[in-house]
Amino acid sequence: MSCLVLLLAAGCGGGGGSPAAAPAPPPQPPVVTPPPAPVAVAPTLDSEPADASVSAGQAARFAVVANGTAPLAYQWLRDGVPLSDATAASLDTGATSAADDGARYSVRVSNAAGSVVSRAALLTVLVPAATRQRWLAGVAAPAGGYRDASVQYLDLASHRRLGDLLAVDTTAPASPQRIAAAGEWMPHVSVFAADVAGTPAVATDLRERFRTFFRNGRLHGVDLEPAAGHAPAASQVSALNTASICQGDQQVFQDWTAPRQAWFVFPAPAAGVTNCYSERSWRAVRMDMAAATAPLVLTARPVSALRDARGAIEGFIVQRGQQVLRTDAQFANAQPLLENLDGALELRAHGVHGRPGRRFLLYHLGNAFQPAQQQLRALPLDQAGPSVLLASDMRPGSVVAEDGDGLVFAAGSRLLQVAADLSVRTLTQALPLTDGRLFLTPTRVVVVAGNISPTAVVSVPRQGGDPLTLVTLSGQGDPYPTLVTLGEDVVVQIGVGTQQLGLHIVGSDGSNPVRLDTGYIAAALRPAALQLDRAGFAFDHGEQRELPGSATSDGVIVVESAFNGASSQAPVVLRGPGRTRTELGRFPALTQVNAPLGEAEPGDVRTGGASDGFLRRYLTLHQRDGFGLLQRENGDLLLVDAAGSGAVTRVTAVEP
């Protein structure tokens, strides 16, 4: 038993030795938690394809910048249809032709997490003038002569004497194309195009590109430059329904270099409001919108377009209550410009004036019930700086005129000129009491002083001086008579309503007055080439300034009637700034009637003597490649060759 104890003792360290250490366990690898699989991020677009404008034969490029989890796949679409082999972040179209004009290009970017489709960028193809089709739109008389055609316009019953809407090929005028039948349509506006090139930019070949109209409560447009071999046809523009908008106060913003991008803005009741007489919103429709595209809903009133040196729209000025904002060309990304926090004052923005690099916003600030306290101010838009006080005694709704030499406006009895640096110079302090209009000649400012008796047309030198009375209309006409300036000539139409009494033609300095006892200003024409940084015009009807016509030379078209019974013929007369008179041709014999037919409207031409009454003949002129289309409501469409022989060609006869 003791031996066993000894052995155990020895094994426990007896004899001076150490026991053997137990082997350490092998090291365990650390537990590593694998990272979670990355979550794929759906594509987003940092920049979208921009609209492109190229000349026929050139290629256009569209590009997109996208973010998201790689790999990203790209698929370009034309008018919603995928294009083969178009799977990169950019697209080159190859050589374009007139048939490509108006095409829309978008791109779908996708990955494992989803996809996004870009905006549809518009391709505008500029076709050389020599290869363009030459279609003009006009209105023929209703079949059966004069009659009322009942139509729906803005969902209000309206009786208008409208005939067929026709498109006429100037190379084959005897075979017009009918766009809409009498009684089916209601006029809207024309959209113009021009060729713009050079520095400074010069616009040439200004022409009607689209004729727009309402039919069945929907807005339609007719492209007067269809693809080769095609006739013009109407198509619906957007899903706009006239039941949702208000009548009147429409604005049109045109882009000559890209006429498909013209904007139409209609007032509409605000959300929760059932009528058009209180708070309003606006519906914005672009010419290139497809029939299913809903109008934009705007909560701010568009004031003016911002344009670059070529006249293209780059943004808008809008007003919401007492705040004025600046948006991009899509009415998006609004940035505040002005805000009036004084509830006792009224802020009202007017148009944008000046040229790119020195543009300014004209606006009123003051008490609406005390016109003498109204301030007219200008806010620089292209450089930092405070607003500038131009005048402190303005009535709301300033009267202005503008050309390359600056802005001219009336304030009380003063006529003031604003220079590029917004300095103000007084041209005269002796104007008649005015609430009228201003026109500019190269050397003088012409003022139509309305709301006084008699109505006076006066002129003031551009360098300043006393007013000179050119024409006094004593009790025989419109307080705002029709007036055009041609070089230094001033042409004033005398009369109002059915009492058309002729024309005064006089130099802006009062020289060489001429009185025509009969005649009517049918259409004012402007030079074929317009230098955009010098021309005193705006592109927008909404800005209440002139949209020029197009002509091969300066001039005014006047229709003079001899009033000599049933055999009366009315010559079409072209008068230029040098007082030259060219008779382009004569209408076929006119038929007179014995009863007056209501109040005059712009463009009406009357024939017949006082005892016979007047026959209203709706006449307007749209010039194209030297041709003008004269349209008469109770007669034929007549094609006038203003550039060549001066012939008047019957386009289509209307049988009674």
From the list 461, 500, 480, 469, the residue with the least C-alpha distance to 607 is 500
Is 567 inside any structural domain? Answer: no
Mean pLDDT, the chain, integer: 76
Boundary (domain end) residue, out of 83, 104, 127? 127
Provide the pLDDT for residue 69. 94
Count how many residues are written for the chain.
Answer: 656
- Tens-digit pLDDT profile for residues 510-555: 999 988 877 767 656 555 677 777 765 555 433 333 344 433 345 6
621 vs 356: which has the higher pLDDT: 356
Residues 6+ apart with CB under 8 A from 274: none
CA distance 542 to 304: 7
In a domain, 346, yes or no: yes
The residue out of 398, 413, 428 marking a domain boundary is 398
Out of 77-86, 205-214, 446-455, 528-537, which region has the weakest mean confidence (pLDDT)?
528-537
Structural domain includes residue 632: no
Strand partners, 593: none
Q: Which pLDDT tens digit goes with each residue over 581-635?
A: 777 766 554 433 322 333 333 333 333 322 233 333 334 444 555 566 665 544 4
Judge whether 323 lies within some domain: yes
Q: Is 306 a member of any domain? A: yes
* Domain annotation covers residue 587: no
Q: Is residue 108 scored above 90 in pLDDT?
A: yes
Is 144's pLDDT higher than 90? no
What are the two backbone dihedrals, phi and then psi, of residue 455, each rounded to the nearest 5 degrees?
-65, 135
pTM of the model: 0.78
CB within 8 Å of 516: residues ≥ 6 apart: 502, 503, 504, 505, 558, 560
Count up the domains in the chain and report the number: 2
Considering the domain boundaries, does residue 480 fall inside one?
no
In a domain, 543, yes or no: no
C-alpha closest to that of 500 among 473, 470, 471, 472: 473
Cβ partners under 8 Å of residue 343, min gap 6: none
CATH code: domain of residue 350: 2.40.10
Closest among 606, 628, 632, 608 to 619, alpha carbons compared? 632
Task: Residue 127: name the closest of 105, 151, 97, 154 by CA.
Answer: 97
CATH (domain of 109): 2.60.40.10
List pLDDT tens digits, range 418-430: 988 899 999 999 8
Residue closest to 570 by CA, chosen among 557, 556, 552: 557
pLDDT > 70? residue 243: yes
- In the listed set 398, 431, 454, which residue is the last one of a domain according to the structure? 398
The residue with greater pLDDT, 524 or 104, is 104
pLDDT tens profile 291-337: 999 999 999 999 999 988 888 888 999 999 999 999 999 999 999 99
Residue 79 is part of which domain span? 44-127
Could you give the 3-state DSSP secondary structure of residue 260? helix
